[in-house]
Amino acid sequence: MSKRRKFKIGQRSPDEIKRLRRRLLSGTLAEIHQIRDEWHGVHYRWWIITLSGVLALFVLSYFSYTQLGWYADQRPLPTGSDWLLRRIPAVNVLPILSWGWFALHLYAAGAAIAFHPRRIPFLLFMLSVFLFIRTAFVFLSPIGPPVEMIDMGKLDYLFSRLMGTYTFKNEFIFSGHTCIPFLFFLFFDTKGLKLLMLCGSITMAICVLLSHNHYTVDVIAAYLIGYSIYVLSENLFYGFIRPLFQVFPSQARY
């Protein structure tokens, strides 16, 4: 009997396992070297100063969101009629919208910190612009929850603890679940991360519709407004914000 036949179908030989371990080790070391090189290229003087200013803006944007979001929840708003939602039954996909959403954003934040440290100030600035614009939409929206909405504030473990303080009931136009992963898709420049974020955004879009947590127009608007937010943020940050904190402004984006 040959040596190869001593192993069951699907079972790897010791040599194959060693090769896989070496490949895993070399890949891990390559990732570590890439992270080290990215952080080595950070201009810490402008990075820290810019990050401090952008963090203050982000805190201000989130404070305005919590205040106006609370006000929006106090208004009795009428339900709207949606052509698509009337034709699909409500499906409980809340675990994807809560824990899946949380895991996706945690991974995106980790990838941004590890591989794009020089662009972290821009990322926070973009999210601040997103919060300001979405707060305005939530505050001005005249429509309440869709019919047969599966309420995340009541049925989901994670969002039931955030509702009323960090997230709110009457925040429909436009879908944050859809828009934020799409913004990460625009932010990242590597194929793998872009594909992951785009798939995550599309998954969230499908799930918010299946659970009737958003109207169809909320999902469509998330992509249109999200792209506008990215372009606006990029022009403002690299055209005005970043040069303010640099002694010798550079034409380079990063």
More confident residue, 19 or 164: 19
**What pLDDT is stored for residue 49 in this prediction?**
84
Q: Express each pLDDT in 155-202 by its tens digit.
A: 666 676 666 566 667 788 889 999 999 999 999 999 999 999 999 999
Residue 14 scores a pLDDT above 50: yes
Q: Express each pLDDT in 98-131 by its tens digit.
A: 999 999 999 999 999 999 998 999 999 999 999 9
Q: Express each pLDDT in 34-58 by its tens digit.
A: 677 777 767 777 788 888 989 999 9
Residue 2 scores a pLDDT above 60: no
pTM greater than the 0.85 cutoff: no
State the DSSP string of 127-184.
HHHHHHHHHHHHHH----PPTT---HHHH-HHHHHHBTTTB-SS--SS-HHHHHHHHH
Q: Which of 171, 207, 214, 217 is nearest to 91 (CA)?
A: 207
**What pLDDT is stored for residue 151 in this prediction?**
82
**What pLDDT is stored for residue 155 in this prediction?**
67
- CB 226 within 8 Å of CB 173: no
Helix axes 101-115, 14-40, angle to 10 degrees: 70
Indicate the Cα dihedral angle 134, 139, 142, 147, nearest 10°: 60
**What pLDDT is stored for residue 51 in this prediction?**
87
